[in-house]
A and B are shown apart, each in its own frame.
Chain A
Amino acid sequence: MGSHEQSHDHDDHHIIGYGTHLVIYFGLLLLTGLTVAVARVNLGELNLWVAMLVATFKAALVILYFMHMKYEHKLIQFLFVIALLALFLPYGAVFIDYLHR
C-alpha cells in the first residue's frame, strides 16, 4: 500500500499487453506438448510427479499473468499464499498419515 505501488497502479503497467498474453499462451501450449510427450516415457513412479510438476509450471503462468497475480495488490497476494497453505497443509497431513500406516 506504499506510494511506490500506487504509482504502479496508476500508470499503464496495470494493463498487460497483447504481446505478453501471446507469449504466455505459447508457453502454455509448449508445456502441454511436454506433458503429453513425457507421459509416453516410462519413468515408473516418477511419471505422476513429473506431470504434476509441469502442470504446476502451467498453473504458475496462468495465475501470475492471466490472473494478474504478479501485478496484484499486496493484500490479494498475501491472501493467496494463506489460501495455498490452507489447502496444502491438510494434504501434507493426509500423506504423512498414509505413509505411516
Chain B
Amino acid sequence: MSSHAASHPQDAHSNNPHADYIGDKVGFWFFLYTELVLFGGLFLGYFFYHMKYKEAFHEAGSHLNVFMGAGNTVVLLTSSLTMVMSLTALQRKQKGLSLFYLGLTILFALAFMVVKYFEWGAKFSYGLYPGSEILQTQHSDGVVIFYGLYFVMTGTHGLHVVLGLIALSWMFVLVWQDKIHAGDYAYLENVGLYWHLVDLIWIYLFPLLYLVA
C-alpha cells in the first residue's frame, strides 16, 4: 500500500516528501462517510414519518415551489460539472481554465443560496417556520413534522453549501498562488468530492420534499 502510494505520479512531482495521495483520499472519504450518516439519519426520519403521515406530507409538499426546487437542482448539477472540469483542467496544466471553472462553481453555489433565501423568505412570510403560531394552531401533526424536516434538512444542506463556498474560495486562492498544481492536486480533488456530496444529497432532497405532492 505504501509502496503504491509512494509510486503515484502525483507524489513524484509533489514538493512534499511525505505526500501520500491515496492516504489523502481515504482520509477524506472517511469524513464523507460521517456526512452520509448525518444526512442518513435525517432521511430515515423522513421515510418513517412519510409512512405515518402520508396524506399530510402530500398536502404540505404541494406548497413548495417545484420550479425553484428544479431550478436549484439544475444549478447544483451544473456546479458539479464545472467542479470536475476545473480538476481536469488543472490535471492538464491549464491553470487559467481551472480557475475559470472554479469561479463558475463558486457563482453557482451563490446562486443556489440566493434561490434558497427567496424560498425560505416566502415560507416565513406565510408564517411557516419552526415553532410558528400558524403551524402550531392551524395545521395537523403531519404538516408540522413535514415542515420541521423541510427546514432541518434544507438548512443542514444549506449550511454545507455555505461551507463549500468557503472551501471553494480557498481552493481558488491556492490554485491562483500555484500552491496546488498538476503535480499536487489532492486538496482540489477532495474539495471536489465534498462538493459532489452536497450535490448528491440535494438529488435525494429534491424529490422527497418538492415532488411528494
Residues of A at the B interface (CB closer than 8 Å) are 1, 6, 9-10, 14-18, 21-22, 24-25, 28-29, 32, 35-36, 39, 47-48, 51-52, 54-55, 58-59, 62-63, 65-68, 72-73, 75-76, 79-80, 83, 86-87, 90-91, 94-95, 98
Contacts and interface: CB of A to CB of B under 8 A. Distances in A.
Given A29-B74, A73-B25, A21 B81 contact: yes
Q: Contact size class for B?
A: 35 or more
6 contacts: A14-B9, A21-B85, A48-B212, A65-B84, A66-B192, A87-B40
A54 B204 CA distance: 9
A101 to B, nearest CB: 10
B99 to A, nearest CB: 16
B203 A55 contact: yes
B4 A6 contact: yes
Contacts of B1: 1, 75
A16 to B, nearest CB: 6
B196 A35 contact: no
A29 B77 contact: yes
Interface stretch (B43-51, B109-117, B128-136, B162-170): B43-51
Given A24-B81, A32-B206, 18 more contacts: A6-B7, A15-B91, A17-B88, A18-B88, A21-B84, A28-B77, A32-B70, A32-B77, A48-B208, A52-B207, A59-B203, A62-B200, A65-B84, A66-B80, A73-B4, A75-B22, A83-B33, A86-B37
Contacts of B25: 72-73, 76
Interface of B: 1, 4, 7-9, 22, 25-26, 29-30, 33, 36-37, 40, 44, 47-48, 50-51, 66, 70, 73-74, 77-78, 80-81, 83-85, 88, 91-92, 189, 192-193, 196-197, 199-200, 203-204, 206-208, 211-212
Contacts of A47: 211
A42 B208 CA distance: 15
Nearest to A88: B40
A72 to B, nearest CB: 8
Tell me whether chain A's interface is mostly helix, strand or loop, or mixed.
Answer: helix
B196 A36 contact: no
A67 B196 contact: yes
Nearest to A24: B81
B203 A36 contact: no
B211 A73 contact: no
Closest 4 CB pairs of A and B: A51-B207, A39-B211, A25-B81, A83-B33
A36 B4 contact: no
Given A76-B29, A91-B44, A36 B80 contact: no
A55 B200 CA distance: 9
Given A1-B4, A21-B85, A35 B207 contact: yes
Given A6-B7, A76-B22, A94 B196 contact: no
